[in-house]
Amino acid sequence: MSSSSPLREVRCQRWRDRKDLYRGIGETFDPSIYGVDVLSERDARVFVQAHHYSASMPAARLSVGLFGPQAVLCGVAVFSVPCNQSVVPKYAGCAPDQGVELGRFVLLDAVPGNGESFFGARALRLAAQELTVQAVVSYADPVARARSDGAVVMPGHVGIIYRALNARHVGRSRSRKLVLAPDGRVVSERTLSKLRNGERGADAAYRLLFGYGAPERAFGEAPDEYVQRALQSGTFRSIQHPGNYAYVLAVGDRRRRHAAQATFAPALPYPVAA
């Protein structure tokens, strides 16, 4: 697949049981029956792993929940530690500890269209209160993911929600090669590196590859040789990713937001869905 895969931006994306679903943008969202509050990391992890296509939870600094009728959890936002300490200075122009990444944003299909604006704004408000940060970085991935049988598990998107939240589009992350497992999930370079270098977590990395259908590691086989053989076994696919669209938002009161925005990377035109 390439970045030319169809992008479904005319509807509001939702998730349930790791399947993408959609609500109409013209629906009425009633804020009086929804609440937003801090959520335990454990509850956030269970929700994200159950419903987000990646089934993975980033290193959270704060988790926030959207609660619907009868206080049922129907959405989670996870503010996480960026994967690289250069991310916040690059896009927000401040120290790494003064920013976080919006690592997950998941709404169930029970939430009507346009509910993401309500939830997103209140989650950002809580991030400013609880974390004492001035900036939130987030990404929109334009490249779809599919299983080996061709079934799409994550359609690409350009981040329409961030425009609704007045985020600044500040560029793209670096282009890179992605290794895809048969179910369409990305096998991270960090996972492969642990196995290649025999680092802590190497055994778990081996079990992950083997569980996806990679061959067993031969007795005495060097770790880097095994990784190369596993990736060439036909189990995995590689795609060239052009980079995610990067956005940055200021949080806090008006004075704090204005001061933070002064150090942000220059604004670029919002990307358009293909």
Asked if residue 195 and residue 83 are part of one domain, the reply reads: no
Asked if residue 163 and residue 34 are part of one domain, the reply reads: yes
Sheet holding 176-180, edge to edge: 186-187, 176-180, 237-241
Asked if residue 182 and residue 154 are part of one domain, the reply reads: no
Residuewise pLDDT in 10s, the chain (274 residues): 233 333 445 578 899 998 888 888 778 899 999 999 999 999 999 999 999 988 889 999 999 999 999 999 999 999 999 988 999 999 999 999 999 999 999 999 999 988 999 999 999 999 999 998 999 999 999 998 899 999 888 888 888 889 889 999 999 999 999 999 999 999 999 999 999 999 999 999 999 999 999 999 999 999 999 999 999 999 999 999 999 999 999 999 999 999 999 999 999 999 987 6
Asked if residue 109 and residue 22 are part of one domain, the reply reads: yes
What residues make up the domain containing 161? 11-172+243-261
Neighbour-count burial for 215-240, b at 16+ CB within 10 Å, e otherwise: eebeeeeebeebbeebbeeebbeebe
Contact assessment for residue 1 and residue 239, using Cβ atoms and an 8 Å cutoff: yes
Asked if residue 183 and residue 79 are part of one domain, the reply reads: no
- Cβ-Cβ contacts under 8 Å for 255 (sequence gap 6 or more): none
Q: Give the predicted TM-score (pTM) of the model.
A: 0.86
Count of structural domains within the chain? 2
Q: What is the DSSP letter of 187?
A: E
What is the H or E stretch that residue 15 is in? strand 11-16
Contact assessment for residue 262 and residue 241, using Cβ atoms and an 8 Å cutoff: no
CATH code: domain of residue 154:
3.40.630.30
